Structure 1
């Protein structure tokens, strides 16, 4: 977390002190929907249990609020705070947990599927480089990050053992655990998920200050560690799309 904070602070301070002109500077607000998918990346310790990472996914609703400083005609720098809601899914496991049925007999192979999802409050910093393309068009590239604070979630474990069984319940074991904020703080320390992301947006302006953005993001999550064992479960890398409404000056 300390490295992420230092990185974000360095970006923000560098941008602010590099600005030399403010002719078209102004307040900026973006309301945005985003979602994507990728892969769960297991830590070394987690690989000993789950062997391989699986699918990851995320979706969020966020507001980006800040100020755009115009450096020169056609180029500006935005310093934006980011607040919102985030849903994140992480999957991992090994083998095959499918249960087959033939003539009343159930068979299974060795397998384990483990998944987590969280509902989180997201807070971060997202500086952007804005490039005017003339007329109603513009581009923006953002580099930033922050933390997701899980407020609730769920953990699901499905396991099978190779053999033949008389019922499907004997062939497969499934456990679902709903998590509240207190459960999460009891399990993990710190009980937050760090994230970093790079965004690429195309802006279409309807007026000098109102427009829509259509974009792509690349994001990485940094999972927490168990409080007792200090073992880290997983990180993830996702690619997704974003769509938003923008109020603020053109570059």
Structure 2
């Protein structure tokens, strides 16, 4: 790669590689069955480290199309619930309202396809718009439930009004409990490239994404999510 980057092999079409960090937040969208229990969606968030590898085909001067495969690690969190799970304590007494919070997070291997349309702006500058998707395969995770009850007022212990359940998940647990056991995703990316040489540059960008998260097998309860965020990385490859 070092030898290639030092030659004119990338003068037009050529190999393209990006290493990128990304992260953002958004909102969850409840499944039909989840709405009957949780009543409202919550916050979602994601962060990933990925590599995009492929080839850019220069269609004409100042315009090229990249076909990129995407591999990486992704962390995703989804929440839903109802009411208020806040517990207040005064003088050894605890008071709470009816509420329920349910949170899931996953550590996943991500694989996908991300075609991009590259636009040269002249000199050291360029833009790229990507539209793609793929799957995130959860390898581990966690789900936790916090519930509160107003049935007992002025309780002497916090356990009288609040209960918590926290479960760590391995890959086998995820395949046993959820269907599908993977997270489908789609995204649109907008990148600005600042080139240091003809073949090396940094990218600063935004993304909009949608996740189709796992649903519980027995109840069909689960969420999807819509996220937006920022991305930053290095690009090795030809200018458009």
Scaled by the length of structure 1, the TM-score of the pair is 0.89
RMSD across aligned positions (CA): 1.2
Identify the residue that residue 156 of structure 1 maps to in structure 2: 144
Identify the residue that residue 224 of structure 1 maps to in structure 2: 214
> In the alignment, which of 238, 243, 247 is matched to residue 232 of structure 2?
243
Identify the residue that residue 4 of structure 2 maps to in structure 1: none
Runs of 4+ in structure 1 deviating by more than 4 angstroms, as ranges, are: none
Contact kept? 2:11, 2:238, Cα under 8 Å: no
Between the aligned partners of 1:232 and 1:167, the Cα distance in structure 2 is 32
Identify the residue that residue 9 of structure 1 maps to in structure 2: none
Query: Which structure: greater helix fraction?
Result: 1
| Structure-to-structure mapping, 1:61-210, within 5 angstroms | 61-162=49-150, 163-164=152-153, 165-210=155-200
Scaled by the length of structure 2, the TM-score of the pair is 0.93
Structure 1, unpaired ranges of 5+: 1-21
> In the alignment, which of 32, 46, 59 is matched to residue 47 of structure 2?
59
Are 2:45 and 1:46 equivalent residues in the alignment? no
Identify the residue that residue 16 of structure 1 maps to in structure 2: none
Aligned residues: 229
Structure 2, unpaired ranges of 5+: 1-9
Contact kept? 2:75, 2:108, Cα under 8 Å: yes
